[in-house]
Amino acid sequence: MVVGDASLDIDLLVIGAGPGGYVAAIRAAQLGQSVLIVDKSDWGGVCLNRGCIPSKALISAAHTYEHAQHADSMGISVENVKVDFAKVQAWKNSIVAKQTGGVSALLKGNKIQTFQGEVMFINEHEARVFNDAEAPRYRFKHCIIATGSRPIELKAFPYGGRIISSTEALNLPEIPKSMVVIGGGYIGIELGQTYAKFGTKVTVLEGSDHVLPGFEKELTKLVARNLEKVGVEVHTEALAQSCTKTENDVTVTFTVKGEEKQVTADYVLVTVGRRPNTDGELGLDLINLKMTDRGLIEVDNQGRTSIPHIFAIGDVVPGLSLAHKASYEAKVAAEAIAGHSSIVDYKAMPAVVFSDPEIAGVGLSETEAKAQGINVTIGKFPYAANGRANSLNAGQGFVKLVGDKETGQLLGGQIVGPEASNLIGELALAVEMGANLEDIALTIHAHPTLTEMIMDAAEGALGHPIHQLGK
């Protein structure tokens, strides 16, 4: 209970309960801090409720539907395969509920105070947390800002009705007949490809010269090929200009290399990036935090802002917008607050796209390593030469390792193919530990498994490949 308007005391105020905020709260509680975590929405943030988890559930359902339709090569025929999309959505929502319920239980189990509502700074050491029912004040010793991000809205394509963001795309009541996706990055490709597998006619407009521009072309061309197989029409070097809306559809006008074109669809999905949630009623302007011109909060290598007892993590600070980056930064910040010497080190930060086939990378790519003047050695091994991949009818893709030719150290690795998201973990560990190519080649990998491709690629980089012919 709050007497009058006196402030309650707390060691740590965490603003935002996504994969950054809730992890920070738990780690801080483990280190002896009294913690209050506040979020205006559901525990787990965008990732668990409107991003990572629901999207992967829909992707899994689309894969299952596709496999059921195309199992003839294995001698399995399934007739009259149907999708009950209402049941798909209900199943997806049950997965989300399970995950968010788990976060709630973890917060409770770690004796963390929770408040569902919003936060507004009063000064550098006090904030008011409020909802429709109450508005107590808290005095904090430290604070971690983990308010995440939201989809960027294009002026010519304002959200509403049939112009949607990823949030609405994950909750459509029916499978659209057609959809235009503006932006061929990971969100646009994951959702566009998923709906295409369910039967939607999808058109992707991407401004660069290939989809998933954050990855090298040799990786993304396999995704582009599979997009074409499921009927996705991809326009690269395309610029969306304007739209005309009716009650039933949207017509998009766009240009490709100066030539004007149009496409009409049930929905337009805009996926051109995300904006940090550092504006609005939070009141960061009242405490004069140092910000970048993009609205990101400047921090040091422990997550500390220009106000030493206030920290920031995740999508509100510079760097990639990744849930696992936010969780990593959360633990560093919580430990720094407790007096530990923890600092961030992003050299082994994996990036994953749940496209078909999946793409994953960690450390330096070949292009990045060469740009740094490193003399590289490359090991590359195809899924088509791996027994387990072929037994899964999944022979598309490859593993690529990038090593320092002089020292033999593993600099990075990229994988395109089924289960790339799981396989990248071994390479992330290897990069983090400073392993060399020989360490990987000498590690006994179980047979038959997909992980053998990593060993085979290392052997290739060392010049003595076993399961493929050397040059």
How many domains are contained in the chain? 3
How big is the chain by its Cα radius of gyration, in Å? 24
Residue with tokens 């559809």: 249
Residues 220 and 72 in one domain: no
Residues 107 and 30 in one domain: yes
Residue with tokens 């337009």: 268
Residues 456 and 395 in one domain: yes
> Of 285, 310, 337, which residue is a domain's last?
337
Decide: 128 and 119 in contact? Cβ < 8 Å. Answer: yes
Residues 100 and 178 in one domain: no
Strand bridging mode 259-265 / 113-116: unpaired
342, part of any domain? no
Residue with tokens 């060993």: 455
Residues 35 and 135 in one domain: yes
- CATH at residue 268: 3.50.50.60
Residues 257 and 202 in one domain: yes
- Structural domain including 186 reads 163-272
Residues 103 and 247 in one domain: no
Q: Please report, in tens digits, the pLDDT of each residue of the chain (471 residues total).
A: 344 467 899 999 999 999 999 999 999 999 999 999 999 999 999 999 999 999 999 999 999 999 999 888 889 988 889 999 999 999 999 999 999 999 999 999 999 999 999 999 999 999 999 999 999 999 999 999 999 999 999 999 999 999 999 999 999 999 999 999 999 999 999 999 999 999 999 999 999 999 999 999 999 999 999 999 999 999 999 999 999 999 999 999 999 988 999 999 999 999 999 999 998 789 998 899 999 999 999 999 999 999 999 999 999 999 999 999 999 999 999 999 999 999 999 999 999 999 999 999 999 999 999 999 999 999 999 999 999 999 999 999 999 999 999 999 999 999 999 999 999 999 999 999 999 999 999 999 999 999 999 999 999 999 999 999 876
Residues 89 and 177 in one domain: no
| DSSP label of 383 | G
Residues 44 and 111 in one domain: yes
Sequence-separated contacts (24+) of 256-262 with Cβ below 8 Å? 261/235
346, part of any domain? no
State how far the Cα of 188 lies from the Cα of 278, in Å rounded to an integer.
24
Q: Which of 70, 309, 340, 447 is catalytic?
A: 447
469, part of any domain? no
Beta-carbon contacts of residue 187 (< 8 Å; ≥ 6 apart) = 55, 166, 271
Residues 292 and 372 in one domain: no
Sign of CA dihedral 284, 287, 289, 291: positive
How many CA atoms are closer than 13 Å to the CA of 237, on its beta-carbon side? 5
447 is catalytic: yes
C-alpha distances in Å from residue 147, one per residue of 10, 150, 313, 314 = 19, 10, 9, 8
Helices (DSSP H) in 291-322: which residue ranges? none
Decide: 278 and 296 in contact? Cβ < 8 Å. Answer: yes
Decide: 265 and 254 in contact? Cβ < 8 Å. Answer: no
**Three-class SS of residue 37?**
strand
Residues 455 and 430 in one domain: yes
- CATH at residue 422: 3.30.390.30
Residues 75 and 216 in one domain: no
